Structure 1
């Protein structure tokens, strides 16, 4: 050994041994990768992510490819896995500390890419990993709006619960761009066909204005009113005609029929609303395949109420009762429970909203003469005691006046013109007020309690909770109900969730 310690001799050979061994391992890894169809490059790393090939991802990262490496566009392999719907690859990358909300091309996160190109299952997985559904891309679009722009109606159900206050905005955009599958999905999860732009345009008007025939048909089928007016008194047919869509304008410009002028009572609308909700619930399962919906506590039949809320209640059954005076009992079990109100204090879900606009509008009154704008018929002057003109009109003016009234949107007391009309067919009367959209009835909601029972609710109704607390419905809007707990002085907001939300 020439007097040299063995350890010193081995130390001198260590760099050589490592160099030889490392080179051998690298060559071995490259051969294994080549056998699998990859080389040791970032491009191969992305291809493995898009193929859900975790074994290749492990070899590539073990041999120097960083987990957060980016392609020329600025995306990571997590973006690639998300767009391809590859959960195992996404899981591998997240485990190696690639941030779930890492931004790439156009400032988009993997969740956004999954919404645009991936699968609902991948979107659901990323959300379960705390991906942020409220982040915006470089153009200011959140995931929900990206789903609208890409026509991905299948993504709406995954995102609706995270962005409920933007569902109406999303519906307006979907109507504008003619995304009929998105329109269908959005309204099933709580967007309202009664939504309006700042200038009074409805989804139907936007679709008509842009010649979106399929979207127009979809909106009419789910309850949009062809005779609603914007701030200038135009209806959907007017907007189609102004934009050069004459054939569509002719389809929309049917003369208002007798039932369009009919005054209705909220209690009359319960069976109709419930039938539509049940029809949509039966069309798409609301429980995972491994769960029998009949076993869920909120699907159990309730005496006097038909069956459960989701698919068991016969469409031809009795109309739901009014909410007034009802005692709402707590649910027997929270397992599989449907959504409750915002703070969970009242087990109510708003399933549907109904508002039928009359095909006319009050402009002003002078003496005993009312100036009215009739849908498709221009401006007419009608004297007290006369019938409102129009084919099929059954409304008679019984009183006109001017008075001061507190209008919420006007910010205080404002002088308004008032026209009281009477339905000659049923004797019902209703005040129509300038500046307020004239409707055939008070706005109503179909609500569902924690036991799957359905009720019709309107502003002013009072009811009690199981603990004895007194409640009053203070407002019913297209996208929410507002309820006051009068016992505790608390306000509860119950959002519209739609039949599937």
Structure 2
């Protein structure tokens, strides 16, 4: 061996042996990948991610493809997996330290791509991995608004709990764009059909303005009032006509029936509100495939001041409001998940607009504007033409406007429903409604109650609460012993 140590001779051959062995392994890996339908390219890496082929992803990374490789659009393989709904690929890539909120094309995260093209399961998985549902893409869209824009009604239930404050905005956008299935889903999870733009336009008005017939039909089906007026006194039919949608305007401009001027009480509306909630919960994922039947006949409804339906008032259970109490077939079966944070959860809101409003009062004469056009002067003591209402008193009054930092004089018209004797004050500058704002609420045992401002109730632990406000998208209650104010958001039947 010419006097050279064996170790030195072997050391000299090491690079050659490594080169040979490494090349052999690389060729073997290429062949194995080729046999699996892949080549050693970034394109193949993305294709493996979209196919949930974790073995191929592992081999491609082991042979030099970087886990954070981006395509020509700027997306990562995690974006590709998210869009294809491939959970195993997503998990594999997250384990390789790809950030869950890595941005790609148009500033979108994998969650956003999943919302637009993936599956609800993938959205749920990414959120469980701390993906941020509040992030905005390069155009300022959050995941919820992307779901609206893309018409992904199946995504609403996954995103609603993380963006409750924007559900009404999402509903207004869905109405403007005519996304009927999204409208239905949003209202199921807590968006309010009583939402308004700054100029008073409702979701129905926005759908009518853009000629969105399917959206108009959906909104009417779930309770939108075609006689609600915007700040200019226009109803949906007027707005549709102005936009050139004459046929739609005709469908919306029927003359109000006399019973649409009825003054109502919670006892009239509680069972109806509950029936709609139960019906929505009973519907399958695709609401078009099966029509549920709502409440079975004979579902008991208690009167004012009682306990649970069928029990005397002195046997009322905890968390019982001192108004209308309802029992549903599902009572006790599905208590709200966050009942510990609040003694009740708001499930529905009800506001019935009357097809008229007070314009002014002069002497003993009230000037009333009717939905769809027309102004009439009605003297005190006379019936309002075409309605079942009678003007029994007119006056001026100072009204405190907290939002505007002062008081102003308003016209007040007290009317009586001649069919049932109920009375109500209608005020200029304020939407005329047939009853006080109402909320359907659910307690920790899954029982349902009707609430309005001023009502008192006790929680399961005996704590006293009072309802201080009921609004289209939230109810405000006060813990009387602590003076603590709690805002209870509208969550909808499925929210």
* SS of residue in 1 equivalent to 2:378: strand
Q: What is the rounded CA distance, in whole Å, between the counterparts of 1:329 and 1:430 in structure 2?
A: 29
Contact 1:227 1:235 in 2 (8 A): yes
For each residue in 1:218-268, what CA deviation from the matched residue of structure 2 results, as whole angstroms up to 9, or x when unmatched? 000000000000000000000000001000000000100112100001122
Aligned residue runs from structure 1 range 88-103, under 5 A: 88-103=88-103
Aligned residue runs from structure 1 range 64-79, under 5 A: 64-79=64-79
State the shift of 1:15 in Å.
1.0
Name the counterpart of 2:247. 247
Matched, 1:401 2:395: yes
Contact 2:343 2:460 in 1 (8 A): no
Name the counterpart of 1:440. 434
**Count, aligned residues:** 471
Contact 2:279 2:294 in 1 (8 A): no
Contact 2:151 2:181 in 1 (8 A): yes
Name the counterpart of 1:290. none
2:299 maps to which of 303, 309, 317:
317
Name the counterpart of 1:296. none
Q: 1:63/1:322 Cα in 2 relative to 1: closer, same or farther (>3 Å)?
A: farther
For each residue in 1:394-435, what CA deviation from the matched residue of structure 2 results, as whole angstroms up to 9, or x when unmatched? 111111111111134433322111111110111110000112
State the shift of 1:367 in Å.
1.1
State the shift of 1:274 in Å.
0.7
Aligned residue runs from structure 1 range 376-391, under 5 A: 376-390=372-386
Give the RMSD, CA atoms, in angstroms. 2.1
Q: 1:149/1:321 Cα in 2 relative to 1: closer, same or farther (>3 Å)?
A: farther
Matched, 1:363 2:353: no
Aligned residue runs from structure 1 range 415-426, under 5 A: 415-426=409-420
- TM-score by length of structure 1 reads 0.90
State the shift of 1:2 in Å.
2.4
Q: Which runs of 5+ in 2 are unaligned?
A: 286-291, 308-315, 321-331
Q: What is the rounded CA distance, in whole Å, between the counterparts of 1:134 and 1:322 in structure 2?
A: 43
- TM-score by length of structure 2 reads 0.91
Q: What is the rounded CA distance, in whole Å, between the counterparts of 2:263 and 2:293 in structure 1?
A: 31
Matched, 1:352 2:342: no
For each residue in 1:369-410, what CA deviation from the matched residue of structure 2 results, as whole angstroms up to 9, or x when unmatched? 1121101232222211121123xx011111111111113443
State the shift of 1:493 in Å.
1.2
Name the counterpart of 2:338. 340
Contact 1:321 1:455 in 2 (8 A): no
Q: What is the rounded CA distance, in whole Å, between the counterparts of 2:318 and 2:161 in structure 1?
A: 24
Q: 1:99/1:401 Cα in 2 relative to 1: closer, same or farther (>3 Å)?
A: same
Q: 1:95/1:324 Cα in 2 relative to 1: closer, same or farther (>3 Å)?
A: farther
Q: Which runs of 5+ in 1 are unaligned?
A: 286-309
For each residue in 1:185-229, what CA deviation from the matched residue of structure 2 results, as whole angstroms up to 9, or x when unmatched? 000011010000000000000000100000000000000000000
Contact 1:188 1:499 in 2 (8 A): yes
Matched, 1:161 2:161: yes
Runs of 4+ aligned structure 1 residues displaced above 4 Å come to 310-313, 320-327, 334-337
Name the counterpart of 1:270. 270
Contact 1:324 1:462 in 2 (8 A): no
Q: What is the rounded CA distance, in whole Å, between the counterparts of 2:160 and 2:458 in structure 1?
A: 30
Name the counterpart of 1:291. none
Aligned residue runs from structure 1 range 254-293, under 5 A: 254-284=254-284
Name the counterpart of 2:324. none
For each residue in 1:432-467, what CA deviation from the matched residue of structure 2 results, as whole angstroms up to 9, or x when unmatched? 011211100000011111112111100000112233
* SS of residue in 1 equivalent to 2:90: helix
Matched, 1:216 2:198: no
State the shift of 1:42 in Å.
0.3
Q: 1:127/1:311 Cα in 2 relative to 1: closer, same or farther (>3 Å)?
A: farther
Contact 2:360 2:411 in 1 (8 A): yes
1:476 maps to which of 458, 463, 470:
470
Q: What is the rounded CA distance, in whole Å, between the counterparts of 2:169 and 2:303 in structure 1?
A: 32
Contact 1:274 1:446 in 2 (8 A): yes
Q: What is the rounded CA distance, in whole Å, between the counterparts of 1:360 and 1:198 in structure 2?
A: 20
